[in-house]
Amino acid sequence: MCELMGMSANVPTDICFSFAGLMQRGGGTGPHGDGWGVAFYEGLGVRCFHDPQPCHQSAIAQLVQSYPIKSENVICHIRQANVGRVGLANTHPFMRELWGRYWTFAHNGQLPDFTASPGSFQPVGSTDSESLFCELLNTLRSRFDSPPELDELVSCMAGICGEFARKGVCNLMISNGEWLFTLCTSKLAWITRRAPFGPAQLSDRELAIDFQEHTTPNDIVSVIATEPLTSNEEWQLYLPGEWRLWCGGETLMQGNVLR
């Protein structure tokens, strides 16, 4: 299956170090060589990069890895195609506009024969993942005429994702630029870095960094990934069914759709 990576921070932060590890899994140290994508939020805008080529040898990925684009919310995805052919239309993260904001979505797992209900949002490609995204947005639009309060929105999203989780493997990330919602049904891990910052060593590449040299004492940065990206840090594992809403590098809300 695919792999996910997300970041939530309280200050604009680049993902060059983490992405350098993830991109090796895109056909190098891992089998996820069927395309990749990343979305960086900058205010109301989003910088999206997609490539159906293996991430570890993609010239666009090399640019992303070396160019310090700073963001407070990021979603990355490397693909191992199971549903839908290899092609640009089937690379994650997918993006749509809802209530005047860009929403992005990436998924790891399989929900066999899943199709989105009729509505304003319909998939362009042929993946079950994009159909899930469209179904979620269609449901939100049908229930709310305008953006609801955050707790009401998150409760609704968790309920929808619970229905997805009962139909198959559904690890996902979704963001509208203000927050990052994550759900795990099989595999997801997270780490929050804050002062005092220390060194980190990538698991998939001979590359290390001392975060103390690149941060301030007030910085808070959380990275969420399918598999831990570093070998010398203690990552926390999600429980099956666990969801977390990240904002400013912190867990703002959490729950479990399988309980």
Active-site residue (options: 2, 55, 170, 247):
2
Tell me: pLDDT of 125 over 70.
yes
In the numeric block, the tokens 């993609």 are attached to 58
> What are the pLDDT digits (tens) for 195-228?
999 999 999 899 999 999 889 999 999 999 999 9
- Strands across the sheet with 36-42, in order? 45-51, 36-42, 71-78, 3-13, 220-225, 189-194, 236-237
Q: Which of 104-124 are b and which e, b meaning 16 or more Cβ less than 10 Å from the residue's Cβ?
A: bbbbbbbbeebebeeeebebe
From the CB of residue 150, how many other CB atoms can be counted at a distance below 10 Å?
14
In the numeric block, the tokens 């919602």 are attached to 181
Give this prediction's pTM: 0.95
Residue 83 has a pLDDT of 66
Number of structural domains found in the chain: 1
Residue 26 has a pLDDT of 73
> Per-residue pLDDT averaged across 18-43, rounded?
85
Residue 254 has a pLDDT of 98
State yes or no: is 2 an active-site residue: yes
Residue 18 in 3-state DSSP?
Answer: helix
The CATH number of the domain holding residue 155 is: 3.60.20.10
Q: Which percentage of the chain shows pLDDT scores above 70?
A: 97
DSSP single-letter state for residue 57:
G
Q: How does the average pLDDT of the chain come out, rounded?
A: 93
Residue ranges making up the domain that contains 42: 3-256
